[in-house]
Amino acid sequence: MGRLTGKIALITGGASGLGKGIAQRFTQEGATTLVTDVNPQGAETAEALGADFLEQDVRSEAGWEQVFAQLVERYARVDVVVNNAGIFSNNPVDETPLDEWQRTLDVNLTGVFLGCKHAVRAMKRNVGGAGGSIINLSSVVGLRGQLGGSAYGASKGGVRLLTKTVALENARIGIRCNSIHPGVIDTPIMDPLFASSSDPQAMRAGIEESLPIGYMGEPARDIGNLALFLASDESVYITGAEMVADGGMTIGLP
């Protein structure tokens, strides 16, 4: 315990799902954690975890500036930024409305760009010296194609390469940037898929059967612990890496 003691961390999209799981592990390991989300109900999640909360739309640069201004004012430094906020889109390319394409990229890619931009600016000014860890949530769909995933895949693939550029630009000053690529994780983002099925339990069983490991991932255990490692000083020699947590989903064809 205490692997993040003394660190100041920001996690976007922390009201539920992966963000909540990451925030849970960060607070358990001693980080002073600020959770943000466009959903004001994130305040309840943050309170339950012992974290602070701010309402934030990651598409807004002014919003990012406000979040970092409050972080620096309160704590004088920012050590970890997790760009987790995201939305899903699964329409085929010829059936994807332009506004859906734009919104998906605005949240999933532009939001991460703004998070990286302002995280680097803040970390360069850290009291005690520059340095920090930026963790960007991509997806296995950022590594390969997916049927019906044109907007989502483009956004997550963009996150993957943006991560490498940020890592390269800032390696010499101790600011690391890595991407996490989850597979099928049991979060509320799966609920609409199951709700659309006439037999949700059979659908769940079919998904789990298709995974080499045989079950869906769990947010805090499988993604939270990976983010914890990347946020901690245990991973100081790792930057620009693609950390895949997918139960074997991408190692071979089913």
Domain ranges of the chain: 8-244
Q: Hey, what CATH topology would domain 8-244 get? A: Rossmann fold (3.40.50)
pLDDT value of position 252? 82
CA angle at residue 173 from 134 to 18, to 5 degrees? 5
> Half-sphere exposure of 108 toward its Cβ, with a 13 Å CA cutoff?
26
Residue 208 backbone dihedrals phi, psi, to 5 degrees: -65, -35
DSSP-assigned letters across all residues of 98-122: HHHHHHHHIIIIIHHHHHHHHHHHH
Report how far residue 173's alpha carbon sits from residue 129's, in angstroms, rounded to the nearest whole number.
9
pLDDT value of position 253? 64
Give the pairing of strands 242-245 and 175-182.
Answer: parallel
Find out whether 167 and 177 touch, Cβ atoms under 8 Å. yes
Helices (H) then strands (E): counts for the chain: 9, 7
Find out whether 19 and 243 touch, Cβ atoms under 8 Å. no
pLDDT value of position 188? 83
Report how far residue 195's alpha carbon sits from residue 13's, in angstroms, rounded to the nearest whole number.
23
Report how far residue 42's alpha carbon sits from residue 45's, in angstroms, rounded to the nearest whole number.
5
pLDDT value of position 193? 79
Report if pTM > 0.75. Answer: yes
Looking at the annotation, which residues are catalytic? 152
| Local mean pLDDT, 10-residue blocks, the chain (254 residues) | 95 97 98 98 97 98 97 95 95 95 98 98 89 98 90 97 98 97 90 85 92 95 98 98 96 74
pLDDT value of position 129? 83
Bridge partner residues of 223 (DSSP): none
